[in-house]
A and B are shown apart, each in its own frame.
Chain A
Amino acid sequence: MAAAAKAGEATLRHAFGNVLSFFILLLIGVLAFSIRLFSVIKYESVIHEFDPYFNYRVTQFLTKNGIYDFWNWFDDRTWYPLGRVIGGTVYPGLTLTAGTIWWLLNSLNIPLSVETVCVFTAPIFSAFASWATYLLTKEVKGAGAGLTAAALLAMVPSYISRSVAGSYDNEAVAIFALIITFYLYIKTLNTGSLFYATLNAIAYFYMVCSWGGYTFIINLIPMHVLLCIVTGRYSSRLYIAYAPLVVLGTLLAALVPVVGFNAVMTSEHFASFLVFIILHVVALVYYIKGILSPKMFKVAVTLVVSVGLVVCCAVIAILVALVASSPTKGWSGRSLSLLDPTYASKYIPIIASVSEHQPPTWPSYFMDINVLAFLVPAGIIACFLPLSDASSFVVLYIVTSVYFSGVMVRLMLVFAPAACIMSGIALSQAFDVFTRSIKFQLLRILGFSEADAGDGSSANVVPENDAVKVDKSEETIKERPSRKNKKKEKEQMEKAQAEKTSAKSKTEKRLLVLPMELSVIGLLLLVFMGAFYVVHCVWAAAEAYSAPSIVLTSYTHEGLHVFDDFREAYAWLRHNTEVDDKVASWWDYGYQTTAMANRTVIVDNNTWNNTHIATVGTAMSSPEKAAWEIFNSLDVKYVLVVFGGLVGYPSDDINKFLWMVRIGGGVFPHIKEPDYLRDGQYRIDSQATPTMLNCLMYKLSYYRFVETDGKGFDRVRRTEIGKKYFKLTHFEEVFTTHHWMVRIYKLKPSKNRIRGKMKKSKSRTSTPSSKRSGSRKKNPWQ
């Protein structure tokens, strides 16, 4: 009777906990969504930055023309005249997701614009990602840790920076896909269910569709499998978790056009196949071991090992030779720069030139994950008490992602979920300990009788508990390889002991009891730390990461200034140029130009053709005439430069100019970086080199600049410019935005007539013969 009541109470509590968890999760989702709306509230509902504009344009195309046209889309408005096969070179996950949402809403008669859907895709998926984090962490350390981790992830600044409303980029959905894939892997590992294994493959497929970062998954999971095998944790569940993933996942990945045969041909995927083979060998070994007697098994092992080693060596030698024969060792440049952080800066300036591919600084860790950085070690320790398959996976995840985030700022995004999970575990365990201690101490203070009973029961239970422990240790010794099974048995045992557990857990709790005061102070400190985290996250979301970067603002003593020059310039292009005119600019502005101005560009942010980018870089670093010829050969009509010298916008083309020189010089050796540097210093003042002062970028940026303040003071470089008065011979200024941030020039047509040699301003009295052989300007049109 009493037992039944107790059980009923337990189910009630369980149900109550579930409902509470559900509402907490709902609120976490709302939090994740709403914290990302600062950008919409402070600015407007607009697509941000560079890449999202491309994704937006692709989504528009998808919604207009359908999936088959999208798949086969040959875009003739970028990379002129090469064009780009969009369908085969883009990760379609994000586009398809947003397109599906739009289609769904429209068929429900909710007429939202494509842009609105695109703007809000990232916040929606952030909510999904935090729920996925809950599921993952719950699999590792239970619901409490799950809820804490989900709450942390919902507002981690690193993730916010890539998923605010309007930041319509691959990462927005990819992080969700990443976490859900990990969750399903852990779930399969814990349950051994083929159903989850299939779901896992599908989640992996979604990840492959979404982001190039899927290689992280297909390397991390094999690493974990290998770890399990090496540490003797092989089980059939491990096999079910991994083997279907490799087979189905690889098949599905090969369906994505941008991956295609890369799924079996590039080195990034080799680890998974190698581990796949190893897993089968191990499985076979366990099977044979089960059949044969131990003695026979020993013989067989020696036989197989000796033969197998020889074969393995031969295969590995062939494999190494094959891989080594390819110039990049079968790795792509970005992956190589992950393994060797100095690789990109040495060989591929175009990868090194992207700021998000640079290593992060220490403060950026504090900025992006804040107090989580201090909680992560505690979380790792908690994962080792006790170490299960799931927790070892999470540990592996955080260790690898810490390394990758240290190589590339961008991969901080992969690190953030791991940090959240670890911190969630740490916080939840800490809370657990503190609250339990307080509860226990309170019980002792308040009700003596209860405490007495508790004491009594605990005294009864202690030996039993010891017995169980001994039992466990025996089991561990006996069947070490299948600890999984043992763990399950242990769970069952605990379930069976459910009635006793309340008492038993109390004993365990008593073992971890802390003094009351310490617990309260610790609790307060933890709450304080959490509050600090929340404040920081909200600040980061509101101030640091919500700027759309196409609209800039600045606060001065006069008030708020809005710089809307980019859209002004793109609108000018859209309204004042022919629909087929080509616009040349540095590749950063390619996506925006095609999406906002709807004009053909020469290069864009999909930096697939280094030579083409180098051509534009060379043109920008050449003198006017040579640049005119390069641009004319590419049918360029307009040249767009971004110039921040008037308002102090630091990421303008002059600051990026050295990369143009480097990338241009990498392909066209007549462009030499030292020509643009004075004693190794990059400067544009009167000490600048003549090459620098005569290159196109300098001229287009500073043309007529002296007319603004009479001195030509550049507010970004904080200096007066070197050459103030000059004329353009081959270009003419057609548009400069309000704050001079974007300047558009038109290529002058070649001259109608070719002048003769005689000087134009010949004075009538001068003797002709003396001036005759003077320096005749070579005609620019030949």
Chain B
Amino acid sequence: MAKLLLYLTLATSLIPLFSVAFSPENPTDRRVLVLVDDFAIKSSHSLYFGSLTSRGFQLEFKLADDPNIGLQRYGQYLYDALVLFCPSVERFGGSIDVASIVDFVDSGHDLIVAADSNASDLIREVATECGVDFDEDPAAMVIDHINYAVSNFDGDHTLIASDDFIKADVILGSKKIEAPVLFQGIGHSLNPANSLVLKVLSASSSAYSANPKSKLSNPPSLTGSAISLVSVVQARNNARILITGSLSMFSNRFFRSGVQKAGSSIKHEKSGNEQFLTEISKWVFHERGHLKAVNVRHHKVGESDEPAIYRINDDLEYSVEIYEWSGTSWEPYVSDDVQVQFYMMSPYVLKTLSTDQKGHYSAEFKVPDVYGVFQFKVEYQRLGYTSLSLSKQIPVRPYRHNEYERFLPAAYPYYGSAFSMMAGFFIFTIVHLYSK
């Protein structure tokens, strides 16, 4: 019964994660549905697909308007991830539509969306649902007259060499991407208030989004580094989404071609596309930056059992183990900035957990001199990592009636006066009654 009073809640964001999506028990069984406009993409983008299959993903290619496709059957999802390489599709075949894709993501599955200069409203709508707004002018492309890539088949500076990456090793890998990434396609913008979406590859400050074939009559609506070329979204249930405005950046041609940024003398033999997109796909498919917290424990110092209730001013110890998925196994996560809060409407204790480098984090602290229903809270949100939010409720009671000090030194004068009064009254009574 007392145990019932005490409970563990993994915050809502973690529950669907462990139940449906990236499954920690069997993480390598990854079935990916790739929807394409035509099967030519299968060969023209074979390098990218090859890197995925070599990492153990089972790709299933379907035409986007194939009438027999579907994401789920009998309420079970058939795939763990969805790749939309079908920028021009007006209507999906089968049972897939925007709502079903959104549901797919909301149940914790991953998504890669690549648009193109002829992106359909459908693809734009999928992107909008994820918090990414493509330039609404259907003919616009990202143009950069300064940071374009020198090449022999492009004259209107829509082929951009960009190296403005997000500074996050967890997303792009620890190996630095030396060569710029080739990009040709449409730009998108993000809502700055949206905390879930990250700009991974941003356009340079000289870029703008307009129709390259017509003269500019109005100032372009998207300019400079507000334009995002590649963005990722980590939903609250830790489903991950990659959105880019260029399908061709995944192509073999871009993977293989050399790149030279305009105005730069360095000519790279190979563009950064392969490294960039492979690394980012590792992040999207949870091979990196996925944390789990297990064995949340707390107990009084010197004891090992978890109590149902603490008393004010108890000393207690809180511990949690945090692991990161490495692609094949759970490795200890090492960091020095994990903090625990002892929280009741506001944090009464905020303490950094110390780690033993093996994934075990712990902290000792004293329960504040306030009773109430507290929570142990770990809110760990770092760029690129899945958000950990653990909370565990624990009531804190005041002293029992017999836990106070029995005799206070400060009160001895009062004890003295009380007893001397009693003695005096006794003597007085005897004298008064028997003195005659």
Q: Given the complex, which residues of B lie within 8 Å of A76, measured CB to CB?
A: 5, 309, 373, 395
Taken together as a complex, chains A and B put the C-alpha atoms of A749 and B102 apart, in Å, by 16
Shortest A12–chain B CB gap in Å is 45
Chain B contacts for A531, CB-based, 8 A: none
Checking A753, A764, A782 against B233 with a beta-carbon cut-off of 8 angstroms, the contacting residue is A753
> Closest approach, in angstroms, between the C-beta of A731 and any C-beta of chain B?
16
B residues in contact with A750, CB < 8 Å: 236
Cβ contacts B222-251/A at 8 Å (1 or 0 each): 000000000001011101000000000000
CB of B23, distance to nearest CB on chain A (Å): 18
The one of B125, B130, B194, B395 that contacts A83, using a Cβ cutoff of 8 Å: B395
| CB atoms of A74 and B197 under 8 A apart | no
Interface flag for A579 (CB, 8 Å):
yes
Residue picked from A753, A768, A782, most chain B C-beta under 10 Å = A753
Q: Does the CB pair B309–A74 fall under 8 Å?
A: yes
**B369 within 8 Å of A (CB atoms):** no
CA A768 to CA B102, docked complex, whole Å: 23
Within 8 A of B (CB), among A575-595: 579-580
Q: Determine the chain A residues whose CB is within 8 A of the CB of B309 once the complex forms.
A: 74, 76
| Cα-based distance from A754 to B344 in the complex (angstroms) | 28
Docked-complex contact B397 and A74, CB < 8 angstroms = yes
Check A81 against B373 for contact (C-beta < 8 Å): yes
Contacts of B345 in A (CB 8 A): 81, 633-634
| Complex contact A81–B136 (CB within 8 A) | no
Known: A74-B397, A779-B193. A758 touches B128 (CB 8 A): yes
Chain A stretch 73-104: residues in CB contact (< 8 A) with chain B: 74, 76, 80-83, 85
> Would you call A762 an interface residue if the criterion is a C-beta within 8 Å of the partner chain's C-beta atoms?
yes
| A754 with B194: CB separation less than 8 A | yes
Q: Is A18 an interface residue (CB 8 A)?
A: no
> Are A769 and B105 within 8 A (Cβ)?
no
- Determine whether B372 belongs to the interface, using a CB cutoff of 8 Å to chain A: yes
| A764 and B372 contact, CB distance less than 8 A | no
In the complex, chain A residues whose CB is within 8 Å of the CB of B195? 754, 782
Which of A82, A634, A769 is within 8 Å of B136, CB to CB? A769
Instruction: Tell me, yes or no, whether A755 is within 8 Å of chain B by CB.
Output: yes
Number of interface residues of A (CB under 8 A): 32
B137/A751 in contact, CB under 8 A: no
Q: Does B86 contact A (CB under 8 A)?
A: no
- A72 at interface by CB-CB < 8 Å: yes
Question: Could you tell me the dominant secondary structure of chain B's interface residues?
Answer: mixed
Interface residue range, chain B: 35 or more
Interface residues of B in 279-331 (CB under 8 A from A): 309
Judge whether B206 is part of the interface by a CB distance below 8 angstroms: no
Closest chain A residue, CB of each to CB of B391:
A635
Q: How distant is the Cα of A553 from the Cα of B235 in the complex, in angstroms?
A: 51
Q: Is the CB of B371 within 8 A of A753?
A: no
A580 touches B7 (CB 8 A): yes
User: Are B129 and A753 closer than 8 Å at their CB atoms?
Assistant: yes
Select B128's contact among A80, A751, A752, A755, beta carbons within 8 Å.
A755
Residues in chain A near residue B137, CB distance under 8 A = 768-769
A578 → chain B closest CB, angstroms: 8
B372 in contact with A83 (CB, 8 Å) = yes
Q: Which residues of A contact B398 (CB under 8 A)?
A: 74, 85
With CB as the reference atom, state the residue of chain A lying closest to B5. Answer: A76
In residues 65-106 of chain B, which contact A (Cβ within 8 Å)? 102, 105-106
Instruction: Give which listed residue, B4, B12, B131, contacts A756 with CB less than 8 A.
Output: B131
Also in contact, A764 and B121, with CB within 8 A (given A81-B344, A755-B129, A756-B129): yes
| Binary interface encoding of chain A residues 566-581 relative to chain B, with 1 for a CB under 8 A from any of its CBs, else 0 | 0000000000000110
- What is the bound-complex CA distance between A580 and B239, given in angstroms? 28
B345, closest chain A residue (CB): A81
Q: Is the CB of A758 within 8 A of B130?
A: no
In the complex, chain A residues 761-782 whose Cβ is within 8 Å of any chain B Cβ: 762, 764, 768-769, 772, 779, 782
Chain B residues near A779 (CB-CB < 8 A): 191, 193-194
Report the bound CA distance from A758 to B233 in whole Å. Answer: 17
Interface assignment of A495: CB less than 8 Å from any CB of chain B: no
Instruction: Say yes or no for B374: interface residue by CB 8 A criterion.
Output: yes
Q: Does A71 contact B (CB under 8 A)?
A: yes
CB < 8 Å: which of A580, A749, A753, A758 contacts B124? Answer: A758
| Shortest distance between the CB of A450 and any CB in chain B (Å) | 58
What B residues does A83 contact at CB under 8 A? 371-373, 395, 397
Q: Is the CB of A752 within 8 A of B371?
A: no
A85 to B401, CA, bound (A): 12
Please indicate the chain B residues that have their CB under 8 angstroms from the CB of A82 in the complex.
Answer: 344, 372-373
Tell me which residues across on chain B come within 8 A of A579, comparing CB atoms: 4, 7
Asked if A758 meets B136 with Cβ closer than 8 Å, knowing A749-B12, A753-B235, the reply is: yes
CB–CB B106/A753 < 8 A: yes
**B 103-153 contacts with A by CB, 8 A:** 105-106, 121, 124-125, 127-133, 136-137
Contacts of A469 in B (CB 8 A): none
A72-B400, A74-B371, A756-B191 are known contacts. Are A769 and B121 too (CB-CB below 8 A)? no
**What 0/1 readout, one digit per residue, does chain B (362-398) give for beta carbons within 8 Å of chain A?**
0000000001111100000000000000000101011
| B221 in complex: contacting residue of A749, A755, A769, CB < 8 Å | A769
Contact of A757 with B by CB under 8 A: yes
Contact B344–A753 (Cβ < 8 Å): no
Distance (whole angstroms) from the CB of A478 to the closest CB of chain B: 30
Residues of B within 8 A of A754 (CB): 131, 191, 194-197
Residue pairs across A and B with Cβ atoms less than 8 A apart, 13 shown, are: A74-B395, A81-B374, A579-B7, A580-B5, A749-B12, A753-B102, A753-B196, A755-B129, A755-B131, A757-B128, A760-B125, A768-B136, A769-B136
Residues of A within 8 A of B (CB): 68, 71-72, 74, 76, 80-83, 85, 579-580, 633-634, 749-758, 760, 762, 764, 768-769, 772, 779, 782
Chain B contacts to A: CB under 8 angstroms: 4-5, 7, 9, 12, 102, 105-106, 121, 124-125, 127-133, 136-137, 191, 193-197, 221, 233, 235-237, 239, 309, 344-345, 371-375, 393, 395, 397-398, 400-401
**What 8 new A-B contacts, CB under 8 Å, besides A72-B401, A754-B197?**
A74-B395, A752-B236, A753-B105, A756-B131, A756-B133, A757-B128, A762-B121, A769-B221
The 6 A-B pairs of least Cβ separation, nearest first, read A768-B136, A74-B397, A76-B395, A756-B128, A81-B373, A756-B133
